[in-house]
Amino acid sequence: MVQARIDFLGSGHFRPLADALSTAAAEFAVERPVVLDVGAGTGYYLAAVRERVNARAAVALDISKFALRRAARLLPDALCLVWDVWRPLPLGEASVDLALNVFAPRNAPEFARVCRDGATLLVVTPLPRHLQEIAEGARLLDIRPGKDNDVAASMADGFETIESRTVEFQMALSPADVGNVAAMGPAGHHSAPSEAGFSTPASSVTAAFTLQVFRRRIREVSKT
């Protein structure tokens, strides 16, 4: 499924999302940040953000070695580590200025540990209407409403919510694009694209996401 992601992202259909993420990063992050992408996949979004903010260092974590091999090729100067997000992250406390999480699992306590006070965390989740025109034909899983609220609640101990933005655009997809986007998520899929029974191009398909901006709360100084 990594190839489907590479092919779909390579087609440029999600470029507006990479642009929105980069714009938010430039707006909220400190200058020359250390950037961490958890669940970085093939590194597509980290590459876009890193360039936009002129990052001092970039770290990509993902459990898939196949995806990360691709990320390492795209980001030769970045640290790309095969890592399970549910383990303690391989970074020091308060070492990250800007963290990204795009359609990937979130370990809130670990995000809070590695982010320095005031650091920016950008989280992207799909909205229920994401890919709605092809959801049935491509047998995509339903996207639960209120995902953004769940994310904010799960982050609340370590992060305050600064802003929530809707990123929405239309895409003209070929049958191959539909197969790739179905195979790669974030909506997920029940069957291989070739079994999903779509063969016609979808002229206008909705891409719809929530981009949440969080700020790491100031740590309390322990009085001992």
Ligand X SMILES: C[S@@+](CC[C@H](N)C(=O)[O-])C[C@H]1O[C@@H](n2cnc3c(N)ncnc32)[C@H](O)[C@@H]1O
Instruction: Determine if 44 is a binding residue for ligand X (CB under 6 A).
Output: yes
Instruction: Determine if 21 is a binding residue for ligand X (CB under 6 A).
Output: no
d(CA 224, CA 72): 44
Instruction: Name the 3-class secondary structure at 57.
Output: strand
CB of 156 to ligand X, least distance (A): 22
CB of 219 to ligand X, least distance (A): 25
Is the previous residue joined to 128 through a cis bond, with omega within 30 degrees of 0? no
Q: Which residues of 116-141 are buried (b: 16+ CB within 10 A; e: fewer)?
A: beebbbbbbbbbeebbebbbeebbbe
Task: Find where tokens 């992050």 sit.
Answer: 29
Instruction: Name the 3-class secondary structure at 118.
Output: strand
Binding segment toward ligand X, per CB under 6 A, in 24-32, 41-49, 174-182, 215-223: 41-49
Question: What track of x and - describes contact with ligand X for positions 54 through 73 (by CB under 6 A)?
Answer: --------xxx--x------
Q: Which of residues 80-119 bind ligand X (CB under 6 A)?
A: 84-86, 102-105
Contacts with ligand X, residue ranges (CB under 6 A) = 5, 39-42, 44-45, 62-64, 67, 84-86, 102-105, 185-186
